[in-house]
Amino acid sequence: MTGLQPIQQVESLEEVEFEIDAENNLQEPNSDYPPENSDETPLFLASDVLEFHKFTSNDKLDVILVDYLFEPTTLSFFDCVLDETFIQRISNALHTPLETLVIYRCTFASENSASMVCSAPAFKGLENFAVANPTLPSLNNWFDAFAEAGVSLKRFHVDDAVLSVLEIDKDIFLKFFKAQCEGFILRVELQNETDVHIMKERFEAKFGDHFERNDTVNKQSPEKYVRFKCDSSLKVTYTLRND
């Protein structure tokens, strides 16, 4: 009969960032643990913000999942190559509902990755989603995946967008937009003022029967809206028509 095992110390960290360096080594935020005078390695708890930078495979996760518990409100991926196995393992390791998911400059294995992300139980309660210049999966795939999964967001941000970003299916977009909660904001950040004007023309040509320009709406308004803007603070905003 074995005796009781000691309870492992838990070290709570508000922000945890993992990065793969140029030599393919894992850079951890707590390489100085355990202290020299301690025989115990604590279990680290990511309690607020969890970030992954430059991950390209699953092998580094084996080390991370031994020493870390994941209970973040915000999960971010930067410059990663993401396949379904990687996303699934991260999703399964989340012990609390996620509020915000950020995906910047990442490559996915297929268009189906959007459906896999949106249908994962850990992402069902998402309130905020941010993506930079989505190409694979496309913005159309993200809209479709969120609508099919029944995820109702508060914010959907598209940063570093190019003009082709709105090459989307009209019916898919309307289904997605109408399914979002009261006060929902779709913000598309473009690179310059010229792009904002061109995007305005394209959006009105495609969705003018359903949306009208309304630059008086703001974050405190109950209305859902679409906003195109750039760094110069130029912005054009649309809400659904009442008729």
* Residue 64 resides in a domain: yes
For the whole model, what pTM was predicted?
0.89
* Residue 239 resides in a domain: no
Which pLDDT value is given to residue 39?
56
Q: Compute CA distances 175 → 30, 153, 179, 180, whole Å.
A: 45, 13, 6, 9
* Residue 146 resides in a domain: yes
* Residue 217 resides in a domain: no
Distance from C-alpha of 102 to C-alpha of 82, rounded to nearest angstrom: 13
> What is the percent of the chain where pLDDT is above 70?
91
* Residue 102 resides in a domain: yes
Look at the chain and report how many structural domains it folds into: 1
* Residue 211 resides in a domain: no
pLDDT digits (tens, 9 = 90+) for 127-165: 999 999 888 888 999 999 999 999 999 999 999 888 888
Which pLDDT value is given to residue 6?
56
* Residue 199 resides in a domain: no
Q: Which helix (H) or strand (E) holds 219?
A: none
* Residue 162 resides in a domain: yes
User: Could you list the residue range(s) of the whole structural domain that residue 136 is in?
Assistant: 10-181
Tokens representing 14 are 């508000």
Return the CATH number at 83.
3.80.10
